Amino acid sequence: MAQASGTTRPGGRTARTREAVRAATRELLAESADGTVDIAEVAARSGVHLATVYRRWRTADGLIIDAVVDDLASRSPLPATGDLRADLQTWITGLLTDLTRPGDLAFSRALLRAGGEGRDALEFAEPRIRQIQATLDAAGVTVLTWVDLFELVLAPAYVRALLSAPMDPAVDAVRLVDNVLAVRSARERAAGG
Amino acid sequence: MAQASGTTRPGGRTARTREAVRAATRELLAESADGTVDIAEVAARSGVHLATVYRRWRTADGLIIDAVVDDLASRSPLPATGDLRADLQTWITGLLTDLTRPGDLAFSRALLRAGGEGRDALEFAEPRIRQIQATLDAAGVTVLTWVDLFELVLAPAYVRALLSAPMDPAVDAVRLVDNVLAVRSARERAAGG
DNA sequence: ATCACTGATGCGAAGGATTCGCATTTAACG
DNA sequence: CGTTAAATGCGAATCCTTCGCATCAGTGAT
């Protein structure tokens, strides 16, 4: 026989379809005012048949997640100079600025929607998580982990953006940084004393 | 003429319809394993016509939000004894325990989904917000507001529950409390110095 | 190179979900 | 009571999603 049953086949036409759909999704997402994407439009623009899009991506959220995860690695890296306050300030200001754009919110909204219907959605954030950890390591901080930055920075920023209005980078970044440093100090004092 | 155009009409049959649908939604939500509700089932059980349910509630999330908001006021009040650590510990442990139940997650998921499509979703939380503020006031804390508790406690707890797995009350409540108190100390030191 | 094999796709039709138009009911007000 | 228009019920129309089957094309072996 040619091959064992159940093999996957990522090359050639399949890869072309994938890329066409991803590109169409990215384009339509950029054009969309509310961070929404219509499956029929994605199919039309990509030239891929509607039924195929449904089969492989299932939902509009699936399209968004796949498209965004695909170029998540190409994002600008986080600063890791060893000066924790400065690094955090830079990172968080940029993050909050991103969240003022509807297109950037679409991804997180899609993730939250998809969460609970499948696997752990945090796995998508893994590359970013490693960068966050690197920032902490560069500063020689051992009492904080990426989980703390997730809780103190990412969660509030995203929830506020999704639930009411995005934070103001100029105003809120400082508070978030201060909160992180407050927790750091408290833990170092507790550990040292 | 009878009345000016554009009046709303909340009494009588409308109220009956509303209540029937809310009750059906609550029942089906309690029976649902995944915090999902089917509009057709709600219509069938409530005896309200399918088209009416669509007209007034639009989506399944709309049903869930309306039903849960409706009895949000009947929740047990937050402790406000003046001992901030104890009050926070009690509240957060209860909160994290609630979030381990799928039914309780449904509401927050629905809110996050609906967010961005309508008005500020935080307005639903207003009664709870006032209780949180009361807890802080009882402890004589002036450097923290409900916004801080939202950022330091609610946001991380909900995001974790929605995105991956709920927190463990026994383990994570302590950390969240410590974080709040760390921020409080830092701010009081900054203000006092 | 060429072949057999099978996963992926295209296509149209079937099946549901959502919305629409209109007739009827009924709360609100004089 | 009588009038008025909001809310509802009802069935049809529309739209979205899934299905079954035929075809296409990459994969590995010859």
pLDDT digits (tens, 9 = 90+) for B113-157: 887 565 677 777 777 888 999 999 999 999 999 999 999 999 999
Q: In one letter, which amino acid is A48?
A: V
Q: B46-89, pLDDT tens digit by residue?
A: 999 999 999 999 999 999 999 988 877 677 889 999 999 999 99
Whether B32 has a pLDDT exceeding 70, the answer reads: yes
- Residue corresponding to tokens 């060893």: A82
- What pLDDT sits at residue A49? 98
Residue B118 CB neighbour total at 10 angstroms: 10
**Beta carbons of A163 and B109 less than 8 Å apart:** no
Measured between beta carbons, the chain B residues lying within 8 angstroms of A150 are 156
Q: How far apart are CA B174 and CA B88, in angstroms?
A: 9
- Residue corresponding to tokens 């869930």: B64
Q: How far apart are CA A124 and CA A183, in angstroms?
A: 27
What percent of chain A stands above pLDDT 70?
A: 91
- What pLDDT sits at residue B178? 98
Cβ contact A51 with chain C strand, < 7 A: yes
List residues of B whose CB lies inside 8 A of any A CB: 34-35, 105, 109, 111-113, 115-117, 120-122, 150-152, 154-156, 158-160, 162-165, 176, 178-179, 181-183, 185-187
Smallest CA–CA distance from B187 into chain A, residue: A182
Q: B1-15, pLDDT tens digit by residue?
A: 444 445 676 778 999
Strand C footprint nucleotides (protein C-beta < 7 Å): 4-13, 17-21, 26-30
- What pLDDT sits at residue B192? 84
Instruction: Kindly report which listed range (A48-52, A170-174, A175-179, B118-122) carries the lowest average pLDDT score.
Output: B118-122
Smallest CA–CA distance from A184 into chain B, residue: B182
Give the three-class secondary structure for B38: coil
Residue A1: pLDDT band with limits 50, 70, 90 = very low
Contacts for B35 with CB less than 8 Å, ≥ 6 apart: A116, B29, B102, B103, B105, B106, B109
Q: How many CB pairs under 8 A join A and B?
A: 105
Instruction: Say what the pTM is.
Output: 0.87
Cβ contact B18 with chain C strand, < 7 A: no
Contacts for A35 with CB less than 8 Å, ≥ 6 apart: A29, A102, A103, A105, A106, A109, B116
Over residues A95-107, the mean pLDDT reads 90
Q: What dihedral do alpha carbons A167, A170, A172, A174 form, nearest 10°? A: 160
- Residue corresponding to tokens 């007209």: B55
CA separation (Å) from A162 to A108, B74, B112?
8, 26, 6
Instruction: Kindly report which listed range (A6-15, A157-166, B175-184) carries the lowest average pLDDT score.
Output: A6-15
Work out the minimum CA distance from B46 to partner chain A, whole angstroms: 27
**Beta carbons of A186 and B187 less than 8 Å apart:** no
Cβ contact B47 with chain D strand, < 7 A: yes
Q: How far apart are CA B113 and CA B109, in angstroms?
A: 6
Q: How far is CA B112 from the centre of its chain?
A: 11
Q: How far apart are CA A7 and CA B165, in angstroms?
A: 32
Work out the minimum CA distance from B133 to partner chain A, whole angstroms: 18
Cβ contact A14 with chain C strand, < 7 A: yes
- What pLDDT sits at residue A121? 73
Residue A122: pLDDT band with limits 50, 70, 90 = confident
